[in-house]
Structure 1
Amino acid sequence: MGKKLIQVSVNGKSEERAVEPRTLLIHFLREELNLTGAHIGCETSHCGACTVDIDGRSVKSCTHLAVQCEGSEVLTVEGLADKGVLHAVQQGFYQEHGLQCGFCTPGMLMRAYRFLQENPDPTEAEIRMGMSGNLCRCTGYQNIVKAVQHAARLLKEQATATA
């Protein structure tokens, strides 16, 4: 079977590439677009290190085909910051030390980004449930929860300031 031409917006930039139909999105991002923030962890969608945002949904890119993204908008961790200014979730993880080795961090950031759009004022229990599809083998999660809470406060402040 031959390559298929796909057009996709990645971090606001239109990309058009010919890909093998079986190419996983994680490989397309890392190998074709040189966006190496999303990590390959388990390759079974259990760990969440490969999480990206596609058309307003958190998606584990290790089990999603690149051709499924035809016409979609994909946001990766590289696209979170705006002109060098960290996004609120990035600031939260930095301020609250929500990382240790850093391997899971890109996926955690992307899931936290989408989660806070789905639930802008979450409780601790809701954060733990909302982030449960992303595993961290180092931190014990307490600082990750604090980081998401911090980001929620920052986003609320930003919304109030622009209203």
Structure 2
Amino acid sequence: MSRESAPGILDVPALIDARPIGAAQVLTFLPCFLVVLLDGINTAAIGYITPSLVTEWGVGRAALAPVLSAALFGLVMGALAAGPLADRYGRKAVLVAAVAELGLACLASTFAADLLQRAALRVLTGRGLGAAMPNAATLTSAYGPARLCPTAVLGH
């Protein structure tokens, strides 16, 4: 779809579409891809380690339910907050803050002394991921040519 722009006004999307992918775009896409990858690993890892946690901590599977679902509550909170925060402070700033939060919470969760601490830290990890994911997708979409957006953002 071609858009007309007034003389002297730079049409940035058209400029991005007309050029090959450059180093600056790759430096934007790669961290965004890593955020999406971390989300997948975070989601899968807790289910994978659950049998070990049951054995090592000597708790029943039902006692782990809050830990397993905590990240999902955090994801919802982060996703709901991400848009307004990004509109106010910028997508990059929110993405960096969200990745810092999820990284610190993930690291801290390795030192959790009990299930309540682990669940609280999983909420923070999920909140960081929930805020990071939509901003990573939006930045990838904004900096990429339209022809590659369905593949880069949706993975199809």
TM-score for the superposition, normalised by structure 1:
0.27
TM-score for the superposition, normalised by structure 2:
0.28
Structure with the larger RCO, 1 or 2 (CA within 8 Å, 6+ apart): 2
Whose strand proportion is higher, 1 or 2? 1
Higher Rg of the two aligned structures? 2
